C-alpha cells in the first residue's frame, strides 16, 4: 500500500521506482495471483486480490508517466500483459487507456 501511495502521488518517484526494478516484482504479483486462480477471479476480499489490484493499478499507470517507463516496460516484455488485460472486463478500460498512451507517447 505504501508503494502504491508513493507512486500515485509523484511521477518522479514512480520513475525512480521503475529504474530501481519495480517492474519485475509487479509482473510476479500479477502473474502469481492469476495462475493461482487458474483464470477464476479470486475472492474479492482476499489479500491476494487486493495485492493484485494494487499491483495492476500501478502497472497500468506506468506507461503514462514517461518515455523511460515505456522503454523499460517494453524491454521487460510487458506489452503483452497489457494486451492480455483486454480479455478481462474489469481491466479492459485501463488496458485500452494504456495502449492508447503507449501509442501516443511513441509519436
For the stretch 4-47, pLDDT in tens is 666 666 678 788 888 999 999 999 998 876 554 444 444 445 55
* Whole-number pLDDT of residue 24: 94
Other C-beta atoms lying within 10 Å of the C-beta of residue 63: 24
Nearest one of 9, 10, 15 to 63, comparing CA atoms? 15
Contact between 100 and 107 under an 8 Å Cβ cutoff? The reply is no
> Max CA-CA distance within the chain?
41
Place of cell 503507449: 102
Q: Model pTM?
A: 0.77
52, pLDDT greater than 80: yes
Other C-beta atoms lying within 10 Å of the C-beta of residue 61: 19
Amino acid at each position: 500500500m505504501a508503494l502504491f501511495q508513493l507512486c500515485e502521488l509523484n511521477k518522479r518517484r514512480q520513475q525512480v521506482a521503475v529504474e530501481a526494478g519495480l517492474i519485475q516484482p509487479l509482473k510476479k504479483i500479477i502473474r502469481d495471483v492469476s495462475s493461482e486462480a487458474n483464470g477464476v477471479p479470486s475472492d474479492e476480499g482476499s489479500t491476494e486480490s487486493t495485492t493484485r489490484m494494487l499491483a495492476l493499478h500501478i502497472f497500468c499507470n506506468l506507461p503514462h508517466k514517461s518515455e523511460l517507463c515505456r522503454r523499460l516496460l517494453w524491454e521487460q516484455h510487458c506489452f503483452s500483459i497489457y494486451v492480455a488485460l483486454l480479455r478481462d472486463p474489469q481491466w479492459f478500460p485501463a488496458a485500452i487507456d494504456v495502449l492508447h498512451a503507449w501509442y501516443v507517447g511513441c509519436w
